[in-house]
Amino acid sequence: MEAQDKPNYTTSAYNSMSAAWTIVTDVSGGTQRMRACSKTYLPQEPSEKDPAYTRRLGRSVFFNAYSRTRDALVGMVFKGDPQLDEDVPTEIQKHWENIDLTGSHGDVFTKELFTDAFEGHAFILVDMQPALGEGATLADERALGRRPYWVKYKSNQALNWRTSIINGETVLTQITFEEKTNEPKGEYGEDEVCRYRVFRLDQGVVTWTLYRKQKAEGTAEETFIEEGSGTVIGLDRIPVAVVYGNRTGMLQSTPPLLDLAHLNIRHWQHYSDYSNILHVAHVPILVRKGATQDQQAIEIGVGSTVDVPTEGDLKWCEHTGKSIESGRTELQDLEQRMALMGLSMLSQKTDANITATEIRANNLQESSDLATMARSLQDAIELALEFHAKYLNLDSGGSIKLGVAESDLTLDAQMITALITAVNSRPPLLTAETFLSILARGFPGVELEDEIEKLKAMPGFGQAPPTPDEIGKMKKGVDKILGGPQNVPGVQ
């Protein structure tokens, strides 16, 4: 069977996105995952022997700024629970309590889904439990609780897909999801089983087929056994909704925090060097002058004595430590830069799909990348509710409100400038990571705008008032972080 005829075929778009998925997945895995990746992200030096590299790897600890920032941003969007509107049918509201048939409340399901979207995008498949068989009535099915349910898929689980233009709209006409499960094998063991769930749309009819992959005995040849197939009743579209982190095309995206992941890897590498230098600096080397090659190694301890030749010498050599301070400074600089990248998700940006004329005509506000992600999540949930309703032969699935206002996910340039200055002050008055945590969780008695005003009112943030030169440098720094010149009031 040719590769393009196998359900596990991956498209060129999939292959081009896979490297970024690997990076953010590895980084979010923390110290254990980064150590397992070893030389992929922590190269072995040319003259470094394997035992020395293994020891250095074991001393290296990963400062997971990526996951902390991602989780804080997710927390901002889910500061309050999503609320189903009154137009959501009562039957669907009951299903929301266990939306995936595994006990997940809709709030939990959507939060996990939004977290997955930081890999680029994520999917909701609205599926239906199997029919009871011939002779069963609708009353029988309802009595046994047959109902639609939702399934999450990560971006890397959609291996191939096709689209077509139908009535002027780009429509998904085929998609394959990969599913891996561990199933019992033998008396106590288990075996990983890989299946491929394929949906097709043809002439308004949606069908599905489930394949199981297996390898022929004694060979590497893959074969695919059909385990089931059927028609999706009541739907004229494949029941899949997509949440985008940073959309680049139909089912194509990039992780919105990919640059942060790369910087986090650089921090991992630098921390490894820094901790290794500290280890060397803390362990002095004993030097013996005048020893011959046939002399045995000496033991040093309490009560021991060492004989040296008349012209010989015995002394300790220690690292001067001159490079330690510069290494520590670079680590701090990297941590600052990583913190500021989280703030960039909150800066005002005009939606590329909305023209300036439309903004003025509709009195629309510029929004942040995080606000755009939140809108994508809301759209995907409402589309999934629509599919859910069609399975139940209901007129509409209704709508949903997220637990945060869009305006709370966007900061204007003046606020961003004040926060960046606070982070960059010496010593820092605030870390961007702390700020994101405040936004995500909230603290009693702490109001964001009040804190911003206090920061702006502090001349030089505890230092002498900044000079025009320093203000210019600060402005350039803001422009660089936010991706272009910003109109910052009071900063020329």
Q: pLDDT, tens digit, for every residue of 136-176?
A: 665 666 667 789 999 999 999 999 999 999 989 999 999 99
Between CA 269 and CA 330 the distance in angstroms is: 12
Between CA 405 and CA 79 the distance in angstroms is: 10
Side chain identity at residue 274, one-letter code: Y
Between CA 435 and CA 366 the distance in angstroms is: 21
Can you give the C-alpha Rg of the chain in angstroms? 29
| pLDDT band with cut points at 50, 70 and 90 for residue 339 | confident
Among 204, 208, 177, 150, smallest CA distance to 383 is for 150
Compute how many other C-beta atoms are within 10 angstroms of the C-beta atom of residue 7: 20
Inform me whether the pLDDT recorded for 420 exceeds 80.
no
What backbone phi and psi angles, to 5 degrees, belong to 480?
Answer: -65, -45
Query: How many residues are listed for the chain in this entry?
Result: 492
- Would you state the structure tokens that stand for residue 410, as one six-digit string? 């966007």
The whole-number average pLDDT for the span 331-359 is 67
| pLDDT band with cut points at 50, 70 and 90 for residue 26 | very high
**469, exposed or middle or buried, with CB in 10 Å at 0-12, 13-18, 19+?**
exposed
Q: pLDDT, tens digit, for every residue of 309-326?
A: 766 776 756 555 555 555
Q: Which residue has the higher pLDDT, 78 or 356?
A: 78
Between CA 114 and CA 374 the distance in angstroms is: 8
From 47-51, 60-64, 297-301, 405-409, the region with the lowest mean pLDDT: 297-301
Q: pLDDT, tens digit, for every residue of 245-295?
A: 999 999 999 999 999 999 999 989 888 876 766 555 555 666 666 666 565
Q: pLDDT, tens digit, for every residue of 81-92?
A: 999 999 999 999
* Strand order through the sheet with 121-128: 148-154, 121-128, 240-244
* Sequential DSSP letters for 303-330: T------TT-EEEEE----HHHHHHHHH
Give percent of the chain above pLDDT 70: 66
* Sequential DSSP letters for 91-140: HHHHHHTTTTSSS--HHHHHHHHHHHGGGSEEEEEEEEPPP--TT--HHH
Inform me whether the pLDDT recorded for 489 exceeds 50.
no
Q: Which residue has the higher pLDDT, 117 or 450?
A: 117
